[in-house]
A and B are shown apart, each in its own frame.
Chain A
Amino acid sequence: GQNIDQPTEMTATEGAIVQINCTYQTSGFNGLFWYQQHAGEAPTFLSYNVLDGLEEKGRFSSFLSRSKGYSYLLLKELQMKDSASYLCAVRESQAGTALIFGKGTTLSVSS
């Protein structure tokens, strides 16, 4: 079976730091992806982790612990435009290259 969990909603204020957690239980593991999706738009790629540790990309960072089945997306210096849904997805080696998604976390940033 497969299960990918992330919080449904989070709120934060401009300039703050927020951490969105994702836990997964999948039959295989071949990488974890984070996507951002603004309302009414397509998901866009943010980050990728396949080895344990932190990947940093500007204001966004993503962390992976394969032994714990855990990842987080860290957003720093939040801006209003960061209000969006954040999707955690796992690629299971046994499922070819298709991504299996969590239900997404809706982040609301207020001033």
Chain B
Amino acid sequence: DVKVTQSSRYLVKRTGEKVFLECVQDMDHENMFWYRQDPGLGLRLIYFSYDVKMKEKGDIPEGYSVSREKKERFSLILESASTNQTSMYLCASSFPGQVSTEAFFGQGTRLTVV
């Protein structure tokens, strides 16, 4: 089974802190994604990566950065956390190129910024 693992289920951080959200997948997927999910807004794409050291901005990249140093790991970084970044963060991965390939999701990290 494909496994996408996020390092924490719940996190509480203070405003202004630097926050790292880690995601690891074990299926050798080239593509990895970070979304945030908010009530009434659905899943919104923050960043994605289609190869090691490659990254592309999604719809809402402001206030975030990412790192992909190894194929299996994709990190989301909040340089200076703010209360409007309180959300559920979901990581996903998939194979590229094959049109029918679905994305597999991690369990999510519920981040609260106080």
Contact = CB atoms under 8 A, between A and B. Distances in A.
Interface of A: 30-31, 33, 41-45, 48, 50, 87, 89, 96-104
Interface on chain A toward B: helix, strand, loop, or mixed SS? Answer: loop
Nearest to B45: A98
B99 A87 contact: no
A97 B103 CA distance: 9
Contact of A87 (B33, B43, B44, B50): B43
Contacts of A96: 31, 48, 50, 56, 96
Interface in B56-114: 56, 58-59, 90, 92, 94, 96-97, 99-108
A42 B33 contact: no
A102 B50 CA distance: 22
A42 B58 contact: no
A45 B42 CA distance: 16
Nearest to B40: A103
